[in-house]
C-alpha cells in the first residue's frame, strides 16, 4: 500500500518555523506556504545553497521537507542521475535525486531531507538544518562542476 502524500498549510506551524529560522540568524522568506532561505552556507565561503521548507502530511503525520536544487543549468537524465549518485555516495543526511524540468526537457539535481514534524523542537530543527546545509554546501560546487562539464 502506497503512502499518501499531501501538501498542507498550517499557518501557526509555518509561523513557528519562520520564527525559529529568524532566531537562528537566517532571513527567511515566505512564498505561499513554503519558507525559503537563499544564499546560505557553512564554511565554504560562497553561500551557494538555497533551501525550501515545505510542510506535508503523510498517512496522518506531518513531515517537514527540506530541499535544495543545485544552481546549475539543466542536463540530460543520465548526467543528472550520475550526479545524484555521486551526491548520495558523499552525504549522510542529504539525499540527491534528479528532477525533470518539463518546460525545458532537461533535468536538475535536488538535495532533500525530511523531518518528522508532529513534535518538532527548535533544537532539533536547528541541528538537522545545520547538518543538511553543511553537507550540501560542502559538495555542491563539485557537483555543479560535474553537471556543467
Local confidence pLDDT in tens for the 149 residues of the chain: 788 889 998 899 999 999 999 999 999 999 888 999 998 988 766 788 999 999 999 999 999 999 999 998 899 999 999 999 999 999 999 999 999 999 999 999 999 999 999 999 999 999 999 999 999 999 988 888 888 87
Alpha-carbon torsion, ordered 125, 28, 35, 112, to 10 deg: -50
Cell 543520465 sits at which residue? 78
What's residue 42's pLDDT? 80
Cα 26 from Cα 120, distance rounded (Å): 18
What's residue 19's pLDDT? 95
What's residue 45's pLDDT? 65
Classified as helix, coil or strand, 116 is strand
What's residue 64's pLDDT? 96
Cut 0.95: pTM above it: no
Burial class (CB in 10 A: 0-12, 13-18, 19+), 93: middle
Amino acid at each position: 500500500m502506497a503512502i499518501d502524500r499531501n501538501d498542507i498549510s498550517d499557518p501557526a506551524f509555518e509561523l513557528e518555523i519562520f520564527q525559529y529560522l529568524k532566531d537562528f540568524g537566517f532571513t527567511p522568506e515566505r512564498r505561499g506556504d513554503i519558507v525559503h532561505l537563499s544564499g546560505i552556507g557553512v564554511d565554504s565561503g560562497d553561500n551557494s545553497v538555497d533551501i525550501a521548507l515545505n510542510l506535508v502530511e503523510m498517512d496522518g503525520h506531518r513531515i517537514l521537507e527540506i530541499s535544495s536544487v543545485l544552481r546549475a543549468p539543466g542536463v540530460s537524465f543520465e548526467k543528472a542521475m550520475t550526479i545524484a549518485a555521486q551526491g548520495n555516495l558523499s552525504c549522510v543526511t542529504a539525499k540527491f535525486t534528479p528532477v525533470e524540468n518539463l518546460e525545458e526537457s532537461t533535468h536538475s539535481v535536488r538535495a532533500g531531507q525530511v523531518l518528522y514534524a508532529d513534535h518538532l523542537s527548535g533544537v532539533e530543527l536547528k541541528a538537522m538544518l545545520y547538518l543538511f546545509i553543511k553537507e550540501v554546501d560542502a559538495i555542491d560546487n563539485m557537483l555543479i562542476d560535474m553537471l556543467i562539464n
